[in-house]
Chain A
Amino acid sequence: MNARNRSRLLRGTACLILVAGATYACSDFLDTPPQGALDEQTLANKAGVEGTLIAAYRALDWNNGVGGGWGNSASNWVWGSVTSDDAYKGSEASDQPAATDIELYNWSTGNADTYLNEKWRGSYEGVVRANATIRLLNKVVEEKPAEISEADQDGIRGEALFLRAHYHFEAWQMWANIPYYTEDDTDFRETNVGVDAVANILSDLDEAIGLLPATPRYGEVGRATSWTAKAFKGRVQVSSGDYAGGLTTLAEVRSGGPYALEQDFSRVWTGFADFSNGSETILAYQASSNDGEPNGNNANYGERLNFPHSGSPFGCCGFHQPTQNMVNFFQVDDDGLPLSVTDPNWNARDDNLDAAASATMRLDPRLDWTVGRDGVPFKDWGPHAAAWIRSPSYGGPYSAKKAIYESSSGAVSNVGWVNTQLSSMNIHIYRYADALLLLAEANVEAGSLADACTIVNEIRTRAGVAAQGPGTGAADIAVPIDDASITWADYEIGLYPCPFANQDYARTAVRTERRLELAMEGHRFFDLRRWGIAEQVINAYLAVEAGRRSFLSAAAPYAARHNLYPIPIIQLELSQVEGVNRLQQNTGW
């Protein structure tokens, strides 16, 4: 190689190095934006704010978001039913052992903690999404004042505040001692000591009432209105013991609000789109199926375990089974009034109340809207059969019925794991009958026994309109309660003589009606606790029921500490700052 070539090569090499160095020295080379993600600025507009609000609604039933258990279903079946005298966990012993621990009041086990944590995380994820909506709204209003009309600003803010209040209420119901988070909070290790959650919830609801329109924005039935917020306010007041306040609020809702009871009970829990979101719905989780989501995650996911098992048209999984105690509770006396009110021996029956056994029994027709019993038509799915039960020796012979769609409703999902147990049937979070019974309760405490009696009878009258029919198709799922086609029961609904004789009797009647009307809807445990009778009722229930379902003999006795669920251990630990847990565990746990 000659000198000229050499020098050419030298220069070439030097250039190469220079080019290499210079090309990549510029900072652009190291700027690689995230792929396939949105940034906050993309969402800083009306569509973004509305979309963020939609996500806040989505957390109403968000079980699929928090992991493998069922701690965060919209109906609260684990926390409100299974821990009460309404329902067993069901299925068979070895399935969902965490729910078994909860059912048997062993709430401090690692197992139970996983479910508790799902509820905690689900509730606060709702809060986070509501707060994100408000923050983004504030940002858009500040940066682009004309982007969102004032009416929509109010609506969006009102709905988000309502949802924030609702999610905090869900947490408060469970744990009472909870931290309260608003859109300005940035420290997520706030203490729960000294927090007046109820006052905060009520304050948010009041603000929402002031901001929200009386009818849902865009006519979309899933949205909160000023009436939704007001009805919730009454619920919060009664739940927190402010009967006087609740009385005022709920009376206003009754007199001025848009709500009314459905014409008959078959339209309360239904998969028929025509009857969904009727006049009785205050807030429901708007389930949807076949909506393009490939796993059925938007269907009534939180209830998917609670269908009859493999011998049934649904296939799986036989959880949330009604107790014998509750089935017995639906017996009525000769006047059609609840036997439990008039006969101390109402809970004597131990054997399977199937169609043959009940052929001539006087029963509240709501029993067969609530409980699947052998031989009795199961909506329009044909008669419930023994083969539908997963393990009768464990969970007894009955199935849950309310949250199950009608065959002819077309609500079923085409996709998802065991798609037959996923449907677009909405899950009631708060319905008008519930509000009326809370009002009746407040009436009783205020001494307005006549008003309370009127409400109870109103509920009973509606209950007497229709009963489960032969269910050969959509047309005869519901028939009049004395229809000749009914061969499995003698349905009776009697009305109470008004006013109630005295406050004690009134209290019993209202509480009884509440259990009958709202059975298996996830309220019972919280009701018993509010009434201050949880320990007494549950221990009495366990004493008898353990003789019927042997697994209950392993239950820990209900004690005062059970009035509040323990805060999940992991969340206590995550609240630690400088070695000290900012969250304080509930007493006794």
Chain B
Amino acid sequence: MHSLLPSPYLIRKGRGHLARVVGSTLMLTLLLCGTAVGQQARVSGFVSTADGTPVAGAIVGVQKTSVRTTTDVAGRYSVTVPTDGVLVFSAIGFRALAVGVSGRTTVDVIMERAVAVLDEIIVTGYTEQRRADVTGAVSSADMGSVNKESSTSVLQRLDGAVSGVTVEASGSPGSRTTVRVRGVGSFQNNDPLYIIDGTPTEDTYLNWLNPNDIQSIQVLKDASAASIYGSRASNGVVIIETKKTGRGGAGGPVLSIDSRLGVSSPVRGYDDFLILDALEYQEIVKRSYENAGLPVPENIYGDPDNPTIPAYIWPNNGVSQTTAVDEASYSFPNSLIMPGSPGTNWWDAVFGRGLVSDVNLGLAGGGVAHAYNVSFNYLNQDGTSAFNRFQRASLRVNTEFERGRFTVGENVAVSQEQYFGGMGDPGGYAEDGIMGKNILMQPVVPVYDIGGNFAAGKAVGLGNQANPLKAAWANKDDLGKNLKVFGNAFAGFRLMDGLQVQTRLGFNRLEQEQHAYNPISPELSEPSFSDGITENYYTFTEWSWANTLLYARQLGDRHNFNVLLGQAASANEFRANGSGINNLLTTDINARYIQDAIGDAASKNVSSSGGKGAILSYFGKVDYNFAERYYLSATLRRDGSSRLGPDSRWGTFPAFSFGWRLSKEGFLAQSQFFTNVMLRFGYGVTGNQAIPAGRIVSQFGGDRGDTYYDVGGSNTIAAGYRQTSLGNPDLKWEENRSTNLGLDLEFLGGAANLVLDVYQRSTDNLLFDPQTPGTAGIAAPPIVNVGEMKNRGIDLSLGYTGTIGSGNWRVSFNGSHYRNEIVRIDGVQDFFYGPVATRFGNQVINQVGHPIGSFYGLEADGFFEDDAAVTDHATQDGAAPGRLRFVDQLTVDTDDDGVPDEVDGVINADDRVIVGSPHPDFTAGLDMSLEIGAFDFFATVFGSFGNDIWDVQKEFYVFRNFSTNVRRDLLTDSWTPENTDAKYPRLDVNDTFSGQQLSSYYVEDGSYVRLRTLQIGYRIPDKWIPNTRVYVQAENLFTLTGYSGLDPTLPAANIFGAAGDIRDQYRGVDRGSYPSNKTLSFGVSTRF
């Protein structure tokens, strides 16, 4: 395959003895190159595959320098290089290749397709490395696969793309993404650190970043790889490089257009399984009352034995069916009249199709000493729920200039995001969200009243429910805007051969505004006639400055050194400003300002808040390898954080790793089967300081609604103060110690590869704020460093490339398993509860010996069959035939050995146990691709196995709390004396016990397998339209799952404690999250 190349220049991949000889020769050559200062010359060439297809976008680098370029669409490149220099060619999906120039001016190469990316050049932290030289746990995302999805944020596309990484998100456009690298390290703030073009940021949305701008994504998974980013690297580091056209000259500007248009709809709707017919619902109500021995209400449907749809549900006297109302008395908002509905499909009223359009324009090119890459993106994504929309417009300019030994450049993105409609995922209880409200509505309630205004469940027996369409409509003009400027300017200077100094000034500015409207709601059972608006503004500014010195040297013919020294500083501050006014005189959108005359001046309210933080760092790294056989890498970093105690704010983060390339050893060197075998071992420490600023001292404050008081009895409040938080001056770094053992295999003549990593990471001195007893008051508890958490796991990826005729096919699989365990909490308690998602208490416990965010409750083991079963069972509140029966756990220790061995005969809080875990046992992604002629096919299947879901919505659609709608099969599968093997308990309005005790009945297996992406592409013959590919694509077409709720893919809740983001204690909880989208789209890519 290398027929065009003089074989001595093969950098590696030798097969057999010859290759080893070749390798040694190469080493010698490199050594000579590294020490000589040669003549520069212009070299150009053509990069293609074996069949002559040009390889576009291949990186062509000059070894030992930072000079890089990329090939154009025709596979051509041009670069200035020492006449005795070595060119390194790399491209995703191809084996990297090193070629000595040897005085030539034209170097054409043929690249060989590779299964994996073992040889690509990757950015691993202030520097670049060949994949093969990496001894830490580093995974790359296959951008080809990533680009076949249409989500707003690139983070959502990483699901199943990288082993060891889990991703959770909802289908709401622009919603937040939870990316976790190798389990969960801390009780809070577990987002990885993102390094975008060398500039660090902590962001959990990344919606401003146009996925089409991204060149590569690397995930540094273990501490030996990540500790160079010591301070904030505890949760892994995701390195994102945007597209750059290398200087050295890729020729004239290439204009690219990538455009996609699609239609989304929810993967499933509640109308699949909720009752849609009003009289069927009446049957549920009727049985619930009859079974309780109570008279059936007649105020809606009349005679329970002969129910009919009422002419009106309101006005309603609460006693008998309303058949006649003088419609002339209708007057909004004080006298409403609502007709009865034979069956409103509320899902259909709110959810439907949404349009997705994504347009990218790019311009890239360069000359001998400059390069530029400019791109523009416009994205519009309609939510599948009414009036919900996300828009993004972004502009990116990446440039680089070279002048002698100087390199300067910048990477800047300016992005504006707009979110319309405030009804995404619920913030508090399930019923607060648009999904929950959907379940709350009974089918007899109409969407509109007789006057065309929104109707709701105003009558007795309909609950106090809000119309979900009204909620969406009222928020239709609610607008969130983010203006982001993110990037950096950099300069490099080559002090001498092999010694580079670089400085990089990063900046990150976010300006955010949010406008919201809260309408009057006269249609509610609990009506409100007060409306209002709020405005919130938030600005965030962060700068970072990193200076590095990089030295690369070879000693003798086998000793290769890389030394990095660096210093970095960064500081950020935010300021938030919120205001509101109520009782508006006009709801005109143009009058939505906070001004006295526009509403009730007395209700005007304004506040602001802010925070500041800073980090200072010093670091160094040494990489050494001996003949590419033995590798050693050592890192040391010291960070100081303003958030931590003055005497403990400096942390030291060492790491080292070893590599042993067995395939270079004699016993394997002859192997025909294995072409690369590398064993890796790494150990390191990383840190986390992601807590709110200012928590090292106690804080005091006051609020008119909390501490102020009318002590004079004159309707005037006097100022009052209280302690708002307890400080801890001894706060120190949370530390994550990780050990990684890895194996890289390339076999079957390079057609197959396997990367296997086994790891353990243990996080110590966990930063979190254990709940204080009520007797300590409500001041925010101090943040302490006591806890410890452990994750153990395996990451696996496996790939194979084959050919069919002239076509290539490729399968790659990646799988991850982790086990999370809390080892210590605060030294006093051995558990604490997570945030409450239910109406009935804490569904989540964090307990020593178990994973974070475990589900907690009584263990339900069926229903009481009859009165005898009730008598025989332990005493249980509300026990009766057909109701849930809970297990009386062993809670009494009769022999004082510290282990309970007897039951106490009473079902109470003591009997609660862990009843599930949201953590999957295994997640896996499978990519399959096939290229034949002008056609290409691609599919991704993703699966999650062994994770449990706590279905909060059962409170409603099974237990009918708040008189909500219910599942249709309650009619056929509820317990009766004749059907004791039922799925649901007996319909019984007095049974507040089965559903209002948190139990395993709420927990279901959430495993699923989903066809994530299916794409078929076609390269239009050049004679028709040059350089153009079209494709059709389907996302989330099929899902296989046993989960009975709407959608097993759930986002973690957007929830914060006083000490930070605590969503990891709130995962796998289904409380009405926006379902995933089934998206069908059509796209075109062209270059000219």
Contacts and interface: CB of A to CB of B under 8 A. Distances in A.
Nearest to B963: A94
B676 interface: no
Nearest to B613: A32
A155 to B, nearest CB: 12
Interface in B893-941: 908-909
B878 interface: yes
Nearest to B548: A17
Given A188-B773, A223-B711, A37 B720 contact: no
Highest count of chain A CB atoms <10 Å: which of B694, B831, B998: B694
A288 B701 contact: no
A414 B600 contact: yes
Interface string B770-794: 0111111111000000000000000
A271 B847 CA distance: 51
A310 B527 contact: yes
A290 B528 CA distance: 18
A179 interface: yes
Contact of B909 (A39, A101, A389, A569): A569
Interface string B592-628: 0000000010111100111111111010000000000
Contacts of B501: 13, 17
Nearest to A66: B778
Interface in B693-714: 693-695, 697-702, 704-714
B336 to A, nearest CB: 10
Contacts of A64: 705-706
Interface in A57-95: 57-58, 62, 64-66, 92-95
A113 B319 contact: no
A188 B772 contact: yes
A387 B317 contact: yes
Interface string B716-737: 1111111111000000000000
B366 to A, nearest CB: 22
A101 B721 contact: no
A228 to B, nearest CB: 13
B909 A317 contact: no
A114 interface: yes
Nearest to A415: B603
Interface stretch (B92-100, B205-213, B456-464, B968-976): B456-464
A40 B700 CA distance: 7
Interface stretch (B81-89, B988-996, B1072-1080): B988-996
Interface residues on A, range: 35 or more
Contacts of B458: 310
A50 to B, nearest CB: 8
A32 B774 contact: no
Interface string B479-504: 00000000000000101000001010
B713 A277 contact: yes
B474 interface: no
A34 B989 CA distance: 52
Contacts of B963: 94
Highest count of chain B CB atoms <10 Å: which of A62, A223, A554: A554
B708 A579 contact: no
A423 B705 CA distance: 14
A184 interface: no
A113 B711 contact: no
Contact of B611 (A24, A35, A106, A551): A35
B828 A20 contact: no
Given A13-B495, A297-B706, A55 B722 contact: yes
Interface stretch (B222-230, B259-267, B833-841): B833-841
A23 B698 CA distance: 29
A37 B708 CA distance: 16
Contact of A65 (B294, B642, B706, B998): B706
A286 B297 contact: no
A189 interface: yes
Interface in B571-590: 571, 580, 582-583
Highest count of chain A CB atoms <10 Å: which of B406, B600, B720: B720
Nearest to A392: B318
B73 to A, nearest CB: 35
A316 B710 contact: no
B460 A120 contact: no
B705 A577 contact: no
Given A16-B503, A17-B567, A97-B839, A291 B774 contact: no
Nearest to B771: A574
Contacts of B996: 97, 101, 109-111
B720 A52 contact: yes
Contacts of A220: 711-713
Nearest to A21: B567
A32 B612 contact: yes
Contacts of A94: 463, 961-963
A16 B945 CA distance: 53
A576 interface: yes
B20 interface: no
B910 to A, nearest CB: 9
Highest count of chain A CB atoms <10 Å: which of B295, B526, B698, B990: B526
A260 interface: no
Interface string A543-562: 00000001101101000000
Contacts of A92: 460-461
Nearest to B693: A32
B202 interface: no
A108 B909 CA distance: 8
Contact of B604 (A1, A108, A277, A294): A294
A576 B294 contact: no
A560 B1051 CA distance: 47
A53 B709 CA distance: 10
A502 interface: no
B569 interface: yes
Interface in A508-563: 550-551, 553-554, 556
A391 B321 CA distance: 14
A570 B998 CA distance: 14
B448 interface: no
Given A24-B569, A38-B701, A54-B720, A554 B990 contact: yes
B997 interface: yes
B547 interface: yes
A142 interface: no
Interface string A114-156: 1001001100110111001000000000000000000000000
A298 interface: yes
B348 interface: no
B711 A316 contact: no
Contacts of A276: 713
Contacts of B605: 294
Interface string B92-111: 00000000000000000000
A37 B318 contact: no
A9 B711 CA distance: 71
B841 A218 contact: no
Given A30-B616, A106-B877, A298-B708, A35 B610 contact: yes
A42 interface: yes
Contacts of A65: 706, 778
Contact of A20 (B319, B569, B614): B569
Given A128-B776, A424-B715, A37 B567 contact: no
A384 to B, nearest CB: 15
Contact of A106 (B582, B878, B989): B878
Given A34-B694, A34-B697, A221 B721 contact: no
Contacts of A199: none
B603 A291 contact: no
B1023 interface: no
Contact of B721 (A16, A43, A293): A43
12 contacts: A30-B640, A32-B642, A34-B611, A36-B610, A52-B721, A92-B460, A111-B839, A289-B715, A310-B526, A391-B318, A393-B460, A414-B602
Given A27-B646, A95-B464, 4 more contacts: A36-B608, A111-B841, A128-B779, A309-B526
**What are the 3 tightest A-B residue pairs by CB atom distance, in nearest-first order?**
A34-B694, A128-B777, A297-B705
